[in-house]
Structure 1
Amino acid sequence: MGVYRADDPTNPGKDFTVKSKVYEQLTLGQRALLMFWVLYGHAHSTAEFYWFVSYYISELKVWPEIKSGIQYFGDDAMYRIYKEIEGVVKARNQEIRGKRRKDTVIDLDDNSELFATVDRLYKLYPKIAPETIKRISTYIRNNPDEFVLLED
């Protein structure tokens, strides 16, 4: 396989079909772990948190997998944050008469109430994440066969 730049449209890492096929080959635990990192690895500010959750809900349609991943590890605190931000994004994405709209980061600049709600949730997110990571790490240590294949 050749070397690809991240912004190269021919990069197989950009191909959602390829990603889906790889995802299907993962164990449930590997999927849950991946879905946690998909958000955690991208959401480093209030704006990023809002935009990525909106993107995962509206565009990529992977939000149900992200939520079920955190449930897989039994993390009720993080799941509550996921559910609340999901409610905010879905409510915001509905316009008068049910027309769909897409969120943008600019929405946070234009709506102080929306910003306050998302900012409150984002501030909780990194406070809870270390416990989430500990929970996941413990699960992996207790179930290594679900995450790695050791061969002689």
Structure 2
Amino acid sequence: MYNHSEGVIFIFKVAMNKQRFQELSDEELTQALFGPMIHRYKEEQLLGHDFMDIYQQMTKGQQAFFVFQTYYIHASSSLTEFYWWSVYYVAERGRWKGLLSGLNYFGEDELVQILQQVEQILLEFGHPVTLDDFNISRDQLHQRPKLLKAIETVEEPFQIAVKNTLQRIMSYIRSHPEEFVTWEEDHTQVG
């Protein structure tokens, strides 16, 4: 969906009427907004295109939401996934910086601090800071007891903080719908 605002084309503003927007649960609204983004991202990957061109056409709120949501979906599912996706994002510096920047955009200082602790742990244990020669497997976490213990110490606070972050992001979206949706006219007629 393309929308013109001050001469800029914004992608992924979902068209819906205000009543539907207000009635959707947080989970439903997340899917309504994120679904088109991730679909387009996967399309661009299959075509071998750089998604950054599209990403830069998103509003700041959409960018922050997209990066957070892509990390959250994977990293929140288990300790092993939290570890691996954190390693991957740290190695792909643009994503990691985008994630931290997005969380700062939403005012999520607590989660930023936790993720900075994760980054420090990964650096202390010699994890890659680029995708060059990236060869980290999920199994490596359980093969290194000290690393496992260090990651476990931040994973529990992460799981608690990320749920609160998700709720606050949805509150932000509901308070700033202009960054995420365009309003459709309600064509229902009475009687």
**CA 56–15 in structure 1, closer or farther in 2 if over 3 Å, else same:** farther
1:84 aligned partner, one-letter code:
Q
Q: Is residue 53 of structure 1 aligned with residue 91 of structure 2?
A: no
Report Cα offsets for 1:113-144 as digits up to 9, x if no partner: 11011122112222112210121111111111
Percent identity between the two aligned chains: 29
User: What's 1:116 paired with?
Assistant: 149
User: Unmatched 5+ residue regions in structure 2?
Assistant: 1-41, 186-191
Aligned to 1:17: 49
Contact map agreement 1:92 1:103 (CA 8 A) in 2: no
1: CA distance, partners of 2:152 / 2:122: 13
- What's the offset of the Cα at 1:26? 0.5
Aligned equivalent of 1:7: none
Distance in 2 (CA, whole Å) between partners of 1:15 and 1:121 is 37
| Larger relative contact order (CA 8 Å, sep ≥ 6) | 2
1:132 aligns with 2:165: yes
Q: Shift of residue 61 of structure 1?
A: 3.6
Letter in 2 for 1:120: T
Letter in 1 for 2:113: R
RMSD (Å) for aligned C-alpha atoms:
2.4
Deviation, 1:50, is 0.9
Aligned pairs (5 A) from 1:87-106: 87-93=120-126, 102-106=135-139
Bigger strand share = 2
Number of residue equivalences: 139
Instruction: Kindly provide the amino acid, as one letter, of the partner of residue 73 in structure 2.
Output: G
Q: Which of 33, 47, 60 matches 2:65?
A: 33
TM-score (norm 2): 0.64
Higher helix proportion (structure 1 or 2): 1
Amino acid at match of 2:146: E
Q: Which has the larger radius of gyration?
A: 2
Distance 1:66 1:16 in 2: 23
Query: Residue 26 of structure 2 corresponds to which residue in structure 1?
Result: none
Change in CA separation of 1:139 and 1:54 when aligned onto 2, cut-off 3 Å: same
- Unpaired runs of at least 5, structure 1: 1-9
